[in-house]
Structure 1
């Protein structure tokens, strides 16, 4: 059985298409849990209408707590977590591919893996996704550490919506977090790079194997207002703290270089998210200092060309000039 958890916040423009894609297959034993995270538009009533029309759907209305809070509320509402069921986190501005739920249901019955990872296709605004391949075919099994190594080298993506998780695996992660005095399945301390933190914790503690299938089951809507594109010092601060947090997890020597390069690259994204306003001066300085420290340890002339150019632009101040000219501010 597959349970789809959809965190919802002010998504009235995109939510109807998201929900329509979920019920396209008509998989009889699928379950849908919508979490209205304090929406101030009509998202809550859209959720109510969907649940009224679908007996296998229910909605939770809660005060706004952020994406991870909504995911935790949805996971806590899943019944019989100790049974062999699967969980899929789907964002309310995205869609799933026609036939994906049926195909994934078959995979869950054939694999012993703790998670299933698949591909996505991107689309913009009001466009519809162009699904690029068949939904059937073989996959390959990798271990948790091998998958984590692949995220460092950008071979695999870390976004939660690209996974189907076995519920017992998520239970192991939640217990691992509880044993360390951490609340909930997802860490609610982060509003950017929270998926990076989740996958680091999961693969280091609870996930023994991942079935990787090369099919596009998910449609990701690109938006200038998404958290990964918008300028917000709070997001930038979250990114900095998240990247420092995953330093706590040791990795094999063979993965150290790739992990450090990934973190340096993401720190440049955090610097951009900090914006160019006067009130973010200290935050930009902290991120810049973090980049300089890591580059110094790594070796500036060992950086790939793309990161080397960004580092030179940062040190010369030319990067800030470009950001100001592009109007990167709140």
Structure 2
């Protein structure tokens, strides 16, 4: 049996489509665990309604604790030999579980990682696929091929052997990139990983969820210190995998730098006037170009409603304003 864990929080508008995609799977031997994480909308009653209609569904209600605590409860309660995940605003392809079952029967892997389809609010679609089917026992290769194919650390395009995931629990103190850290821990402990070009998952996202596309990254405010802590923890786990393949270092550094840019961005919202320069000094080797470009992004987001006005005031020079900021900050640090 395959267990599907679905964390639910205020998802009444998307949950029916998610659950229907699971109930209509071509492979029948599964259970769905709906983990209601203290929803304030009608999600809770929807979970109970679906449970009453299908014996394969079990619902658990808990005090709100975040997606990690919801997934942990699901992992502890799961009865299947394998466990997979689905977010309440996404869906499975109809033959997703059939593919997992066939792959399990053929290889008995610890982890299966598959391709996925991104569907944007604008109507745009994008497929994220590996270039081939890989059966990997080398831990360094697992990490490198995962990164090369843009699979990263998502849980929802993966199926895990239950005895593996039950050895690890997600860090409930974080709710951003918690899946990346957890996946890295599981991959480091896996003996056989299958990476497949088969699409099993449909990931619904707004265009603005793609970093660099859209301009309201600031709507989801994060503590830059927490982002730094997460980046350091993830890099430490990945570097423990390293033995001789230098690509591990390359991809670990790339992921780290990406998260540090996010930390830099949110540091501009901090009450610590010097925070951005401290990050540039410690993690970007005093790269003022990175600092300037990030500062411009921050200014554009925070003061977007004034941008049109500013654009018509020719005496307003962002380069000059930035120079003033950086000069004062460095002089007073």
Residue by residue, what CA displacement relative to the aligned partner does 1:220-247 show, whole Å, maximum 9, x if unpaired? 1113797985634446443221112234
Report the counterpart of residue 219 of structure 1 in structure 2: 202
CA change 1:310–1:35 in 2 (3 A) is: same
The TM-score with structure 1 as length reference comes to 0.78
Long gaps (5+) in structure 2: 212-216, 306-333
Larger mean CA deviation between 29-38 and 146-155 belongs to 146-155
Quick one: distance in 2 between partners of 1:154 and 1:286? 34
Mapping 1:1-330, distance limit 5 Å? 1-79=1-79, 85-125=81-121, 139-142=133-136, 143-153=138-148, 155-171=150-166, 173-174=167-168, 185-204=169-188, 206-223=189-206, 229=217, 231-234=219-222, 236-249=224-237, 250=240, 251-252=242-243, 254=246, 255-272=248-265, 274=266, 277=269, 280-282=270-272, 285-286=274-275, 289-296=278-285, 310-314=290-294, 317-326=295-304
* Residue segments in structure 1 that go unaligned for 5+ positions in a row: 175-184, 301-307
**Is the 1:5–1:90 contact (alpha carbons within 8 Å) kept by the matching residues of 2?**
yes
Deviation at 1:69, TM superposition (A): 0.1
Q: TM-score, normalised by structure 2?
A: 0.77
Displacement of 1:155:
4.2
CA gap of 1:276–1:57, structure 2 versus 1, over 3 A, is: same
Q: CA deviation at 1:285?
A: 4.9
SS of equivalent to 2:234: helix
Structure 1 position 290, deviation (Å): 3.5
CA shift in 2, pair 1:67/1:225, >3 Å: farther
The alpha carbon displacement at 1:8 in A equals 0.2
Deviation at 1:127, TM superposition (A): 6.1
- Counterpart contact for 2:116–2:199, Cα < 8 Å: yes
Write the distance in 1 (CA, Å) between the matches of 2:207 and 2:225: 20
Of 13-22 and 119-128, the range deviating more from structure 2: 119-128
* Contact 1:232/1:275, CA 8 A, preserved across alignment: no
RMSD over equivalenced CA pairs, Å: 3.2
Q: What is the CA–CA distance in structure 1 between the aligned matches of 2:57 and 2:235, rounded to whole Å?
A: 39
In 2: Cα distance, 1:227 partner to 1:48 partner: 34
- Measured in 1, the distance between the counterparts of 2:122 and 2:16 equals 12
> Contact (CA 8 Å) 2:146, 2:152: kept in 1 or not?
yes
Instruction: Single out whichever of 32-41 and 137-146 deviates more from structure 2.
Output: 137-146
For residue 4 of structure 1, give the secondary structure of its aligned residue in structure 2.
strand
Who wins on radius of gyration, i.e. which is larger?
2
Cα distance, 1:101 vs structure 2: 1.8
Higher relative contact order (CA 8 A, sep 6+): 1
Q: How many residues align?
A: 294
Judge conservation of contact 2:121–2:207 (CA < 8 Å) in 1: no
Q: Is this contact kept in 2: 1:231–1:275, CA < 8 A?
A: no
Quick one: distance in 2 between partners of 1:95 and 1:101? 12
Are 2:114 and 2:157, in contact at CA under 8 Å, matched by a contact in 1?
yes
Check whether the contact 2:26–2:95 (CA below 8 A) recurs between aligned residues: no
